[in-house]
Structure 1
């Protein structure tokens, strides 16, 4: 993208005054201007023309302000059967008065967190959109699970997005689980606008010694929305992190998920489904960095693509020289339901240690016609038979959701999309 276009899109926005974190914001701004918006010549974005899409969809950006959300809207947005804490956001801004059952969670504005923490995990120089968020997020939220606290009920981060054309929503979340703490977070977005807008999200997660963090996410933005998320986690000794991401909608979506395994016996698990139709474009970029011996990572992403949709998967596993006894697994499987659907997949391993167990692979194909015929021969019509086979393919990922009410909610969403619901 030309310098002129970059100025048209963001440089005026970057002159907006935001309170607090002056040094951090200046560092983010400098990093963004140095990197610029990525083009197809950028290796990390070679299949996702997000700069061009932003230019086509939005002429200039304005900061999206919070709006009023009432209790009835919150109630309607909570998945059926959910039992736990609810935190409500409007255009990325926390609405404390609408919190439900928040007694097991310490939460506050990010301005109460030391400035040095901001960007210490999701570093601005790793991605231009992380830098953009660091320079100009309006207000973030700090979520802390105290040492040895086991939060048995999940915490739902319920986000309502209602932006006008050209508005930029920039959520920023810091999650910190103390030593021996355990917690489940669920992120669920409710779209209330069909205008083209841009969501640029950063989540930094710190897992203490022997902590367990589960982070589940349903991504269902408006059909004209563009979204980039940078989610990065630091894991210390004996800690475990599990992510499940379900992508369903949005004009163009880019998910950056990074795990830094910084302690022995730490474990990172990354699971995802992308169910795409129309002209939806979803790009999943994952990064696992094994820096220490005796750590494990597991990764499984599956895609089902119809119509003229496009999926991208680029998973990287780094095994550093000192990270002996590493065990790392990565797999990406895809089913194309249309001749016009496209998937670009690139699993990668970079290994500098010699005593490791690592594997990766990918597959792309169509539905098994023999299995489809078998189901039809037993009285199941073709549409339902097709849906059953697709759900069996996708269901392996859903099994990694431990909260039963949210798992059932996701099963209903996936079955409805795939036509497998009787």
Structure 2
């Protein structure tokens, strides 16, 4: 494909011209992997139901580092979520880390360009953990992001730090003039006993088609706690492939909630690697595509060490001609005895033209574990609708109330109150519950 060849040639030329740096080896290796594997197609088992190759039929433009952008701080102010104005902000504009727009308001957090972190006191952390997600993703799209990580960001949360404000990751795509192919990259490190709330949001301005390939890798040390909230409520001309890779290297906890409401094509890869004993992770997801939207959630829990616990609940509501995909995997390594792992996926189809493909999986190589998985696909409960109608509630309102109840299990897992209220408003608007008061 000519467009893909042009992307390869541009990156190959850049890596040949620039001087030596600590990221060159990993970038060059990733580019070679991209050359071998290319963009994934439906012939790849992991991409069987999600077609991304057609997105490259258009001439996609890679952003140029240091280029002048018609974007101001006033533009950012208009895009903020509730509660964000007082929070820490890590801003990517067209896939490139912007130090000028990023701001830290809490003590104990530091953000530096990834290229600088690879050369200063953070170099051992970068060397040990950057690119660990590539062990779980053999596709060329993920490799291409690594080949492009020149303008990534490194986030350090100091030992025992408990920031008073969350960290908002804002990925802004300027699609007002040309098709964009953006590849933001971030590495987050939580030192021992550190705590961090992360709220990840993608925003597209403009009406031109835009594709974002995002990779966020997080390292959680002993007794640390990471909360990660991913919000996907973007423009209909926006497509995103997002990889969130959380590696527990000490006894620690994580709590991840992914809410996917809008976007032409959405693919979420969530990896939880429990690489220390007595780790705990909770994963929740809600996806509600409409129209012709396609939302794909791939999750993976790798139990490397014994005595770990994970719990996963994903729910989907498909309407119109939309498509949902859920593929959840739980690996239990041979040495990971006493593992407890649970996984559940529940789906509701609101239209005969809507569809969902769900595939929960267990691969267990240990003999002393407690693991379960399950999935359901169905329609709204007619008995529930009849009951509400018998109480004087209209049929449309009854359906909306049942759907809201279906989604509540996930919304209640959003701990920041301002974000939860905002998500409630979005869900209520989607379900046309404007007249209903809680």
Q: TM-score range by the shorter chain?
A: over 0.9
Shift, 1:326, TM fit: 0.3
Shift, 1:333, TM fit: 0.6
Shift, 1:225, TM fit: 2.0
Structure 1 residue 185 corresponds to structure 2 residue 198: yes
2:153 match: 141
Q: Can you list the C-alpha shifts for 1:270-311, whole angstroms capped at 9, x where unaligned?
A: 111111101111111111000111001111111111111101
Counterpart-to-counterpart distance in 2, 1:225 and 1:13? 23
8 Å CA contact retained: 1:66, 1:91: no
Query: Among 273, 281, 285, which residue is 1:268 paired with?
Result: 281
2:113 match: 109
1:234 match: 247
Range that drifts further, 249-258 or 113-122: 113-122
2:34 match: 32
1:69 match: 71
Structure 1 residue 209 corresponds to structure 2 residue 222: yes
For this pair of structures, how many residues does the alignment match?
417
Range that drifts further, 108-117 or 228-237: 108-117
Range that drifts further, 357-366 or 216-225: 216-225
8 Å CA contact retained: 2:106, 2:165: no
8 Å CA contact retained: 2:360, 2:374: yes
Counterpart-to-counterpart distance in 2, 1:213 and 1:68? 34
Range that drifts further, 401-410 or 342-351: 401-410
1:245 match: 258
Counterpart-to-counterpart distance in 2, 1:361 and 1:338? 23
Query: Among 343, 354, 357, which residue is 2:356 paired with?
Result: 343
Counterpart-to-counterpart distance in 2, 1:75 and 1:25? 34
RMSD of aligned C-alpha atoms? 2.0
2:415 match: 402
Structure 2: runs of 5+ lacking an equivalent: 119-125
Q: Can you list the C-alpha shifts for 1:133-183, whole angstroms capped at 9, x where unaligned?
A: 111234011111001111232111223211344321110001000001011
Range that drifts further, 96-105 or 350-359: 96-105
- Runs of 4+ residues deviating >6 angstroms: none
Structure 1 residue 79 corresponds to structure 2 residue 90: no
Counterpart-to-counterpart distance in 2, 1:66 and 1:251? 28
Counterpart-to-counterpart distance in 1, 2:377 and 2:281? 25
Change (3 A) 1:66 1:110: farther
Shift, 1:68, TM fit: 4.1
Counterpart-to-counterpart distance in 1, 2:182 and 2:93? 9
1:54 match: 55
Counterpart-to-counterpart distance in 2, 1:98 and 1:203? 19
Counterpart-to-counterpart distance in 1, 2:268 and 2:88? 25
Counterpart-to-counterpart distance in 2, 1:322 and 1:421? 52
Shift, 1:102, TM fit: 2.4
Counterpart-to-counterpart distance in 1, 2:2 and 2:376? 38
Counterpart-to-counterpart distance in 1, 2:295 and 2:351? 16
Range that drifts further, 375-384 or 328-337: 375-384
Structure 1 residue 279 corresponds to structure 2 residue 282: no
8 Å CA contact retained: 2:297, 2:325: yes
Change (3 A) 1:86 1:7: closer
8 Å CA contact retained: 2:161, 2:193: yes
1:126 match: 138
2:325 match: 312
8 Å CA contact retained: 1:152, 1:183: no
Counterpart-to-counterpart distance in 2, 1:110 and 1:47? 34
SS at match of 1:15: helix
Shift, 1:387, TM fit: 1.3
Counterpart-to-counterpart distance in 2, 1:118 and 1:63? 26
Counterpart-to-counterpart distance in 1, 2:10 and 2:237? 21
Change (3 A) 1:275 1:16: farther
Shift, 1:369, TM fit: 1.4
SS at match of 1:133: helix
8 Å CA contact retained: 1:66, 1:90: no
Structure 1: runs of 5+ lacking an equivalent: none
Counterpart-to-counterpart distance in 2, 1:66 and 1:173? 22
Shift, 1:131, TM fit: 0.4
8 Å CA contact retained: 2:40, 2:141: no
TM-score normalised according to structure 1 size: 0.93
